[in-house]
Structure 1
Amino acid sequence: MLLVVNELVANAYDHTGVLVTDHRVRVEVEDSSSARPAPGGPQPAGTHGRGLLLVARLTSAWGSTPHPPGETVWAHLTRDATVLECERW
């Protein structure tokens, strides 16, 4: 599953859906959830609950924009050495 997600994000980066400027990259993901995203508190042995904590820590800004029937979750990545290193993955 992770390979499929990685390929879809890579294609979006190459072709559409990712706004790149000289200073930042904006990534947007749409879903049909009406619940606003919020970083959770993962259990030490849990396998979920860390995603938005990582997003909040690794981005310059993130949030969501509601729209019927769901929302768009977005994140801004600053184009610095850390982001450029991650892009090589």
Structure 2
Amino acid sequence: MAGNDRREHIRTAMSAKVKVMHPELGEFVFSTRDISDGGVFIVVDATPFEPELGDTVTVQVQGLPVPAPVLDMIVVRRTRDGFGLQFEHNQH
């Protein structure tokens, strides 16, 4: 792929509900647009969710038969329709 695409990981389209918890902004449920080995993109429509780049949030996939793990992620990108979240490298 040419151009200024600096993606390190291949993205796969995936729509899932995720609970995103921010220490100051609260708890939200968003849909994902895609996922990769490096992170996930969440779609934020009219919800007032305005984290700063570099903020840490916790993310948990919803709707599975068993509770999914809660992962720490870092807000690394913002677009007009959502946020790119990167997996923290030091997960337990």
Q: Shorter chain as normaliser: what TM range?
A: 0.3 to 0.5
Which has more radius of gyration?
1
Higher RCO (Cα < 8 Å, 6 or more apart)? 1
Q: Which has the higher helix share?
A: 1
Structure whose residues are more often strand by fraction: 2
